[in-house]
């Protein structure tokens, strides 16, 4: 049986970065390389598996004869975030971590420091996998992919373990909010599912942000600066002014828990025209709608000041909070809690300060809470994952399968 670390390192070696501006499904061809690998690996285990034209891998492990249990799904996404490069990843493996600063050797002078990321100290004595400082790592969500594959392989190699029918799903494009837009829930065939896409050990989430993306375009007017008085409209400065109108205390770096935010993720432009892009997030649906209204009011203010048509806004809904879809099936949360406690893990039931494929899947009729995959500091060069977290997540999957079989 392949060790989970070796499996994880194989998966992160494949560049699977998604692309928000692409109009294809999946958004990048390179994601298909890993998706094909996963399909073929499932088939090599003797599991029926398919890869469809939209980039969804679906596999089925038949139930043990005589076991009557709900059909249980486990889902993870293969793409990595556009926020940082996912190409040519060079993981560093730190065994028996001693709590000191970790040099990220690809960038001289760059360190992963407990003084900046105190959660590192919770993993002293463990084996950490980090980046080399030049790319992200890809534990989001290739840790989840590896954990599912590790658990499935264990079941295949231990047929004496009774289980119901197990559904395996791997998706593209989660990081750009399009992970399951064409996912065929009926074809997948699960009664309940879990995404393995959370953070540190013990995390269990069944509520997430309501989410939208806002793109605001500013039309300026360029005039030779020597003759610009009373004529020039500098699109860059107008875009800066619009950003200053948004609540300063509702930025990601100032919020936590159930607090929502406006997050400026891109700013591009010249004197003639500029574009700013935000993501809007809130767990409360009314506050989410108010955030969209605030953006529109800011645009109206700019147009009133600089002339109609100066600013235009496109606001796109991305996903809703899945809580009201999962809560009626609360036993799947209780089983997840029990599965962790069986491993001596203290469950951390908390809201996701982000999104997950499980949100949209839950609204598509497949209740789908989110379990920890073990990684931390996602989407950047400070990302890392403790090996022990991945091993524990794989065991939690097996515990869940056993609990449902009973």
The token duo for 242 is 């619009």
The active-site residue, picked from 15, 79, 383, 391, is 79
The enclosing H or E element of 281 equals strand 273-282
298 CB-contact burial (10 Å; exposed 0-12 / middle 13-18 / buried 19+) = buried
User: b/e map of 36-54 (b: 16 or more CB within 10 Å)?
Assistant: ebbbebbeebebebebeeb
Q: Among the residues of 267-316, which ranges form H helices?
A: 285-306
* DSSP state at residue 80: B
Tokens 């080399």 locate to: 132
Verify whether residue 79 is a known catalytic residue: yes
Calculate the dihedral angle through the C-alpha atoms of 400, 328, 182, 186, rounding to the nearest 10 degrees: 70
> Are the C-beta atoms of 47 and 153 separated by less than 8 Å?
no
The enclosing H or E element of 192 equals strand 192-198
Nearest to 251 by CA among 218, 279, 219: 279
17 CB-contact burial (10 Å; exposed 0-12 / middle 13-18 / buried 19+) = buried
- Between helix 387-405 and helix 139-157 the angle, nearest 10°, is 50
Nearest to 165 by CA among 146, 193, 198, 123: 193
- Cα 345 to Cα 202, 338, 387, 396, 399: the distances in Å are 6, 9, 15, 9, 12
Cα dihedral across residues 108, 14, 10, 368: positive or negative: positive
Verify whether residue 314 is a known catalytic residue: no
* Cβ neighbours of residue 328 closer than 8 Å, sequence gap 6 or more: 367
The active-site residue, picked from 41, 147, 165, 174, is 174
The token duo for 365 is 């009729």
* Cβ neighbours of residue 331 closer than 8 Å, sequence gap 6 or more: none
* Catalytically annotated residues: 79, 174
């Amino acid at each position: 049986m392949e060790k989970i670390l070796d499996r994880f390192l194989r998966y992160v070696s494949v560049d699977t970065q998604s692309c928000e501006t692409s109009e294809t499904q999946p958004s990048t061809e390179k994601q298909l390389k890993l998706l094909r690998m996963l399909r073929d690996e499932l088939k090599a285990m003797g599991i029926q598996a398919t890869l469809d034209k939209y980039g969804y891998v679906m596999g089925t492990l038949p139930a043990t004869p005589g076991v009557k249990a709900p059909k249980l799904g486990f889902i993870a996404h293969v793409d990595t975030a556009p926020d940082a490069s996912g190409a040519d990843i060079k993981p560093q493996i730190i065994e028996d971590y001693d709590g000191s600063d970790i040099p990220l050797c690809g960038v001289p002078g760059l360190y992963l420091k407990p003084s900046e990321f105190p959660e590192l100290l919770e993993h002293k004595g463990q084996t950490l996998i980090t980046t080399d400082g030049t790319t992200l790592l890809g534990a989001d969500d290739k840790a989840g992919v590896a954990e599912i594959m590790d658990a499935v392989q264990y079941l295949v190699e231990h047929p004496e373990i009774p289980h119901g029918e197990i559904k395996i799903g791997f998706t593209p494009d989660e990081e750009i909010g399009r992970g399951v837009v064409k996912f065929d829930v009926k074809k997948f065939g699960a009664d309940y599912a879990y995404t393995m896409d959370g953070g540190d050990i013990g995390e269990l989430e069944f509520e997430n942000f309501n989410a939208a993306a806002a793109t605001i375009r500013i039309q300026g007017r360029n005039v030779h600066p020597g003759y610009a008085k009373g004529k020039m409209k500098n699109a860059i400065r107008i875009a800066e002014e619009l950003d200053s109108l948004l609540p300063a205390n509702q930025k990601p770096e100032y919020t936590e828990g159930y607090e929502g935010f406006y997050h400026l993720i891109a700013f591009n432009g010249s004197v003639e025209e500029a574009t700013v892009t935000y993501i809007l997030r809130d767990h409360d649906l009314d506050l989410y709608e108010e955030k969209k209204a605030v953006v529109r009011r800011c645009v109206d203010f700019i147009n009133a000041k600089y002339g109609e048509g100066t600013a235009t806004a496109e606001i796109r809904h991305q996903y809703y909070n899945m809580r009201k879809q999962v809560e009626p099936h609360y036993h799947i949360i209780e089983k997840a809690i029990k599965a962790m406690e069986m491993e001596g893990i203290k469950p951390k039931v908390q809201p996701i300060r982000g999104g997950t494929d499980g949100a949209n899947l839950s609204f598509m009729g497949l209740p789908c809470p989110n379990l920890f995959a073990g990684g931390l500091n996602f989407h950047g060069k400070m990302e890392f994952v403790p090996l022990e977290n991945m091993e524990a997540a794989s065991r939690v999957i097996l515990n869940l399968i056993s609990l449902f079989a009973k």
